[in-house]
Amino acid sequence: MSRQLAQGALPIARPRGFSLAGVRDRATRGQTGLGRQLMMQAILIFISFTVLFPLLWVISMSLDPRNISRPTELTLIPPGASLQAYFDVLAKPTSNPVTLPQLVFNSFLLGAGVSIASLGLGVAAAYAFSRFRFPARAALMIAIVAVLMVPSVAALAPLFVLLNKITIDMGDFNFNLRNSLLGVGLALTSGALPFAIWNLKGYIDTIPKELEEAALLDGCNSTQTFLRIMLPLATPALAVTAFLGFLTGWTEFVISWQFLTNPENFTLAMALWGMTGQYAANTPWSKFSAMAILVALPVSVVYLSLQRYIVGGLTVGGVKG
Amino acid sequence: MAAVIDASIDEAKLAEPAGSKRGRPRWLTAYLYILPALVIMLAVTYWPILFQVYMSFTDYGLRNLRFDAPGANFVGIENYINLITNQVAQIANFNFWGMLAFNLFWTFSNVIFHITIGILIAVLLNAKGLWFRGVYRAIFILPIVIPTLVVATVWKNMFDTDFGAINQALAGIGGIFGISPDNFHIRWIDQVDPPISWLPLPLSYFALLITNIWLGWPFMTIIATGALQSISKEYYEAASIDGASGRQQFFNITLPLLRPAMIPAAMYGMIVTFNLFNLIYMVSGGGPLRQTEILVTTAFRLVNENRLYGLAAAFGIYTMIILLVLTLLTNRITKATESYV
């Protein structure tokens, strides 16, 4: 029935206002009446409130100077609001001997490392998959897409065991790969790289081949075509892939929590979970809230500016530009 | 004849789309582009998965961790059998099939809410002449852009029985109706008795559901908004000329035309929700009594808390197989419904 309406009945053009019923209908429905408008506003204000409630709560908590161990009332702006909790977090975020700049640096390193590795390796592979026909192309692409579905935690045991076997010994630098940010970064790249290849291939597929053919006729070789034609055209997808790779590292919890034991390697995500606390009475509510905002704010702002490229693309295979 | 020649030229073009130097064969160039990614993936993706298959047939444990430790004992398919027959002595209340059933129920129940609420709000936002449309859109994007890690830790604290914002807000609302605040010491996370007696779901499931509805519907709204805006207005004009009511238009035009966009989004949402580690691990911790545990949180506990690496490897393989089946099934459903409109 719906199919008939969607396909059959609709394209038939009829003179406007041919039916009296239609005219009346449009008069009442087309322009939104005041009552209807107010009802919609009421619903949307309620929905906005539910969306904003957790955010307002965290912000309010983070401004509370008392770092109260037992918050018992909801206030939008707590009495004597100050940025004290932020300073406390800056000075000593957790009971571990690690400073906030160190945590930020570690998380940044992880994010940047995963981002650069997955993007650098991924874009070349994506270009080849999109533009070349070569033996075993389909098999390789299936192998890459297949691991996209595997969450890293499902392969945690072998990653942990294998990286634990490797000790890097370079004079002063003597460390177990598992117990290092490099090891965590490698484990994260195992998931981020296939995603980058798949995502970038989807985008490159949408770029017309004619531009490269023109470059070829003008005497570019394939490397020049890739560097001078393809990369600039793929900028939106590159930005999104780089950002999603960064986000993977910046907010990663599972692998870092399992791998890292030295506080100087700890990340923001680990510290934040540490502050959430097993028992409410021990939760440093204001410091936790300030920390949550510090972790979320930078990546949220970037996400906000990129979201129109990200959201649609995730479901159709490749971000749009 | 001419058409045949044209076609063959086109094919030749397609086969040679981008530049290649005369000397090096094109397939070699392609492999050079892929090689770095392939080497890294062989080392950090495929080799661990192969090693995982080996580990899953052993009793790999803490004692085998050191690099000079003896190899683990081969135990055949014991790990696989023990997992599906719930013989995991180290974890109390381990129930593989119950967990899988909960994981699937968790996934479907969430995605149904996400899609329904997402579409309704998208339609509301799309209403002609709506005031403050941009303001609402800007607010509704927030759950998407905040990292789930932060969302999960914040909601965990919000559900705190004595000091959490949820109970305090409920007490505040209850106060308006003269209900004593003592009624709002709801133990969202720890209460063992199911809130609905005939439904074997703990209260923490509903806490998780509320959190994930908050988290999930805006994504669907964005997808639905994009699809709504691409529906030609002429359909609605023609329908109202034919005398179709608003409800009829919604069910006969809007919904069918949203389908092609919503089904891939639902599929994506299902895979994400099925593996939603941060939310379950951080908000409910899988409790009470492992009732809200899902596959990925259990996989983590087997490694992180129980250190049963061999068993965890087998569990990981099960997880991958289940995900593969789920993906193939949803893919099939997507394909089957693609031609609907």
Is the Cβ of A104 closer than 8 Å to some Cβ of chain B?
Answer: no
The answer to whether B41 contacts A194, with C-beta atoms less than 8 Å apart, is yes
| Annotated domain spans of chain A | 16-90, 94-316
Dihedral, A203, A209, A212, A216 alpha carbons, nearest 10: 150
> Tokens representing A221?
């070789």
Of A191, A197, A272, the CB nearest to B149: A272
Confidence of residue A224 (pLDDT cuts 50, 70, 90): confident
Nearest CA to A294 among A80, A59, A77, A56?
A59
The answer to whether B157 contacts A285, with C-beta atoms less than 8 Å apart, is yes
Confidence of residue B62 (pLDDT cuts 50, 70, 90): confident
φ and ψ of B209, to 5 deg: -65, -45
> Tokens representing B252?
């006969």
CA distances to A8, A23, B249 from A13, in Å: 12, 16, 17
The pLDDT value given to residue B23: 63
Q: Which residue has the higher pLDDT, A10 or B141?
A: B141
Is the Cβ of B316 closer than 8 Å to some Cβ of chain A?
Answer: yes
Of A117, A125, A191, the CB nearest to B34: A125
| CATH number of the A94-316 domain | 1.10.3720.10
Enumerate the β-bridge partners of residue A174: A169
pLDDT tens, position by position, A72-107: 667 777 776 778 888 888 877 777 778 888 999 999
- Gap between the Cα atoms of A319 and A307, Å rounded: 10
- Gap between the Cα atoms of B297 and A257, Å rounded: 13
pLDDT tens, position by position, A112-161: 999 999 999 999 999 999 988 888 898 999 889 888 888 889 999 999 99
pLDDT tens, position by position, B263-289: 888 888 998 999 999 999 999 988 788
- Gap between the Cα atoms of A240 and A230, Å rounded: 16
Q: Are A137 and A129 in contact (CB under 8 A)?
A: yes
Phi-psi region of A80 (alpha: psi -120 to 50; beta: other; left: phi over 0): left
Dihedral, B81, B86, B91, B92 alpha carbons, nearest 10: -170
Q: Are A114 and A245 in contact (CB under 8 A)?
A: yes
Q: Which residues of B touch A135 (CB under 8 A)?
A: 27
Which residues 266-295 of A are in CB contact (within 8 Å) with B?
Answer: 269, 272-273, 276, 280, 283, 285, 288-289, 292, 295
Residue of A nearest to B61 (CA): A161
For the residues A198-202, what does the mean pLDDT come to?
89
Enumerate the β-bridge partners of residue A167: A176
- The answer to whether residue B112 scores a pLDDT higher than 80 is yes
The pLDDT value given to residue A293: 93
C-alpha distance from B37 to closest chain A C-alpha (Å): 5
The pLDDT value given to residue A255: 94
- The answer to whether residue A21 scores a pLDDT higher than 80 is no
| Lowest mean per-residue pLDDT among A111-115, B2-6, B38-42, B111-115 | B2-6
pLDDT tens, position by position, B7-26: 444 444 444 444 444 567 88
The pLDDT value given to residue B13: 43
Residue percentage of chain B with pLDDT more than 90:
50
pLDDT tens, position by position, B288-341: 888 899 999 999 999 999 999 999 999 999 999 999 898 888 878 777 765 544
Nearest CA to B165 among A154, A60, A147?
A60
The pLDDT value given to residue A148: 84
Q: Are A230 and B33 in contact (CB under 8 A)?
A: no
The pLDDT value given to residue B17: 46
Confidence of residue A181 (pLDDT cuts 50, 70, 90): very high
pLDDT tens, position by position, A288-297: 888 999 999 9
Residue of A nearest to B323 (CA): A149
Residue whose entry in the numeric block shows the structure tokens 């004593």: B180
Topology annotation, domain B95-338: MetI-like fold (1.10.3720)
The pLDDT value given to residue B314: 95
- Per DSSP (E only), the strands in A161-288 are 167-170, 173-176
Q: Which residue has the higher pLDDT, A306 or B97?
A: B97
Residue whose entry in the numeric block shows the structure tokens 């969450």: A151
pLDDT tens, position by position, A268-281: 999 988 888 655 45
Nearest CA to A288 among B214, B144, B165, B170?
B165
C-alpha distance from A310 to closest chain B C-alpha (Å): 10
Of B51, B222, B277, the CB nearest to A254: B277
**Omega prior to B288 cis, within 30 of 0:** yes
* Helix or strand run (H / E) with residue A201: helix A181-204
Of B15, B242, B309, the CB nearest to A9: B242
Mean pLDDT of chain B: 86
Residues 6+ away with beta carbon under 8 Å from B249: B236, B239, B240
| Annotated domain spans of chain B | 95-338
Residue of A nearest to B284 (CA): A278
> Tokens representing B167?
């109970």
CA distances to A229, B159, B174, B283 from B171, in Å: 61, 13, 5, 21
- Gap between the Cα atoms of B55 and A73, Å rounded: 52
φ and ψ of A168, to 5 deg: -100, 125
- The answer to whether residue A33 scores a pLDDT higher than 80 is yes
Q: Which residue has the higher pLDDT, A122 or B69?
A: A122
Enumerate the β-bridge partners of residue A169: A174
| Lowest mean per-residue pLDDT among B26-35, B43-52, B59-68 | B59-68
pLDDT tens, position by position, B177-209: 888 877 788 888 888 888 888 888 899 999 999
C-alpha distance from A253 to closest chain B C-alpha (Å): 8
CA distances to A36, A47, B120, B125, B148 from A43, in Å: 11, 6, 11, 11, 26
pLDDT tens, position by position, B201-256: 899 999 999 999 999 999 999 999 988 988 888 998 999 899 888 889 999 999 99
Is the Cβ of B323 closer than 8 Å to some Cβ of chain A?
Answer: yes
- Gap between the Cα atoms of A105 and A205, Å rounded: 36
CA-based radius of gyration for chain B:
26
- Gap between the Cα atoms of B186 and B184, Å rounded: 5
- Gap between the Cα atoms of B44 and B38, Å rounded: 10
DSSP-derived 3-state class of residue A175 = strand
* Helix or strand run (H / E) with residue B130: none
Q: Are B84 and B96 in contact (CB under 8 A)?
A: yes
For the residues B87-110, what does the mean pLDDT come to?
91
Q: Kindly give the residue spans of alpha helices, DSSP state H, lying in B62-188.
A: 78-84, 96-125, 133-140, 142-145, 148-158, 165-176
- The answer to whether residue A24 scores a pLDDT higher than 80 is no
For the residues B167-180, what does the mean pLDDT come to?
85
Residues 6+ away with beta carbon under 8 Å from A260: A179, A180, A181, A184, A266, A267, A270
- The answer to whether residue A250 scores a pLDDT higher than 90 is yes
C-alpha distance from B296 to closest chain A C-alpha (Å): 6
Exposure string over A219-255, b if 16+ CB within 10 A, otherwise e: ebebeebbeebbeebbebbbbbbbbbbbbbbbbbbbb
> Tokens representing B278?
């941060």
CA angle, residues A25, A26, A29, in degrees to nearest 5: 85
CA distances to A61, B88, B209 from B97, in Å: 41, 13, 21
Of B19, B27, B31, the CB nearest to A220: B19
Is the Cβ of B247 closer than 8 Å to some Cβ of chain A?
Answer: no
Is the Cβ of A225 closer than 8 Å to some Cβ of chain B?
Answer: yes
DSSP code for B71: P
